[in-house]
A and B are shown apart, each in its own frame.
Chain A
Amino acid sequence: MRRRNQQRRAFWLLPVALAAAVAVAINCGYSQIPFADILTSLLRPGGPDASVVLLQIRLPRIILAVLCGMGLALSGCTLQAVTENPLADPGILGINAGAGFAVMVFLTAFPALHIDTMIYQPLFAMVGGLAVAVFLFRFAKRKGKMRPGYMLLGGIGVSAGFSALLLIMATDMENSSYQLVARWLAGNIWGSGWQQVEVLVFYLLILTPLILSRASVLDLLLLGEDASCALGVRVQRERKTLLLVAVALAASCVSVSGGIGFIGLVAPHVARRIVGVRHRLLLPASVLTGALLLLVADTAGRSFFQPIEIPVGIVISILSAPWFLYLLRKI
């Protein structure tokens, strides 16, 4: 009991840290904005003194980083429980790549449409992500049982395959499209505006409660199929629902940000160290940790090497690769 209270207290560090990171991010950037201007811009966004840089460029980007980090971390945390594999992550499982590929097909097939149909882009991404998930489920099924290990192997293969396909598609493109693909593969939230924020908020609001309300089911799934079934969990059905929602979450994020990997892997592991393994606390903690990590990585990527910007996906990979190796060693 004492332990649980400690974890509950530790949880509150996360929103505080996130608020601090947002404050720092608002102040970081090519053009310095005085604190007074920030206040007037935020309080009276329509006013004559409002800063355009802050309201139209920096703020949507910060919010998008926070939202993407939330969605990818929640997706990763769910996938880790559903596949009973601590190394699961929408990037590693190839879901991001499948979603990215579908979006690319959408963009090249309907180039005139995509400006008006931003809202449909995530739907295409979901189809791509789900196709990968369905394939993985089939691939991982051996003798009527799902083998989580095969799922990971299949995902790595799918991921490599789709990345290669994207590059092949890109070589045939005019220069501007090629840059779009390259940006996609790296994972970037540069140049995003309020429209992307609105789209992502819409999908996150629908999908997040579906997972948060299943926190106790996620706890039980980790006991294994037999034990969770004996406790009254409809294992097959819950697994499918959770997988579907996790894929949809990752796909909506990927459709606005490109394939940012590792957040879904690292954020839940960091959150576990802070609040323990029970999903009632772990899910919200992962969400906040993911938001924090992605925002910090994006802020670092755009501030440290000015005037060059490093795509956030690359910053995250550089930060996370050693962690991934450490996890592999431990498991």
Chain B
Amino acid sequence: MQSCMTADSLSAGYNGVPVFFDFDLEVPAGKITTLIGANGSGKSTILKTMSRLLSPTDGAVYLEGESIHRMPTKAVAQRLALLPQGSQTPSGITVEDLVEYGRFPYRSRLSGMTAEDREIIRWALACTTMTEMADREMDQLSGGQRQRGWIAMALAQKTGILFLDEPTTYLDISHQLEILQLLRQLNEQQGVTVVMVLHDLNHAIMFSDYLVAIKNGRKHCAGTPKDAITPQMLEDVFNIEAEVIQHPILDIQVCLPYGVRKAKT
């Protein structure tokens, strides 16, 4: 398995309070990797540090051999896109405006948009089936459409790697699946490497090639969904009692929780 990005004994936190420690990860190229773990386990902070939004207190992140925290931030933005959790959309901007922002890393201070920029914006809108919505204001869209707009912006960055922090939060179940299927499609058709944080375990199993379970700021285990998801792991990481069974339709294993693990006496 070839990796396109490496975290090497990475640690980081906020205001001197460490959130995660000694984290190693080889991000498999061209695959979908999902971080799972309980609230406060440090998954979002790991994602932020790996996308240079947060400086590490120790260790480093390498993007094709270069330390990401030492690269010019625009150069990083040409190779790695990130959708932060619950992004705020300024009122009044249209979908097209937002997608245009995705071209920022390629533009100098005064240059206008080139024909290539426009071509890429059209392509990004088409990939996310947002072409019809281009002139609509983001405020007026449904949660699912808005998230597709954000993904279109990230696509316009033309990066090989896409990070997403809980891309399905606040969406109803059909929009959740729609967004995840879109990501799967981008991954398969455009070869985009996806790294994301998800809360829904069965979505993580369905849409990921590689799972990384985080517990209390440390990597607990990692592997394909089939290897990683076991009743023992679910008990250790999420503190739940769950059964892992075969999905009746799809060829995957799903987990069915049935209770919170009782405190050991």
Contacts and interface: CB of A to CB of B under 8 A. Distances in A.
B104 A220 contact: yes
A231 B102 contact: yes
Contacts of B76: 232
Interface stretch (A10-18, A162-170, A211-219): A211-219
Given A1-B135, A214-B109, A231-B77, A272 B92 contact: yes
A223 B88 contact: yes
A230 interface: yes
The binding surface of chain B is classed by DSSP as loop
A278 interface: yes
A229 interface: yes
Pick the 5 closest A-B CB pairs, nearest first: A232-B77, A277-B92, A226-B84, A232-B74, A222-B90
A134 to B, nearest CB: 21
Nearest to A277: B92
A20 interface: no
B51 interface: yes
Contacts of B83: 227, 230
Nearest to B92: A277
Contact of B109 (A213, A222, A230): A213
Main secondary structure of the interface of A (DSSP, over half): loop
A8 interface: no
Size bracket, chain A contacts: 20 to 34
Contacts of B101: 216, 219-220, 223, 231
Nearest to A225: B53
A227 B87 contact: yes
Contacts, number: 77
Interface residues of B, number: 36
Contacts of A272: 92
Contact of A276 (B51, B92, B107): B92
A3 B73 contact: no
B107 A216 contact: yes
Given A220-B104, A277-B92, A277-B93, A230 B15 contact: no
Nearest to A276: B92
A216 B88 contact: no
Interface in B59-87: 73-78, 81-84, 87
B209 interface: no
Contacts of A231: 77, 101-102, 104-105, 157
A234 interface: yes
A269 to B, nearest CB: 11
B14 interface: yes
Given A223-B87, A230-B81, A234-B73, 14 more contacts: A2-B135, A3-B94, A143-B15, A216-B104, A216-B109, A222-B90, A226-B82, A226-B84, A227-B82, A227-B84, A230-B84, A232-B76, A272-B92, A277-B91
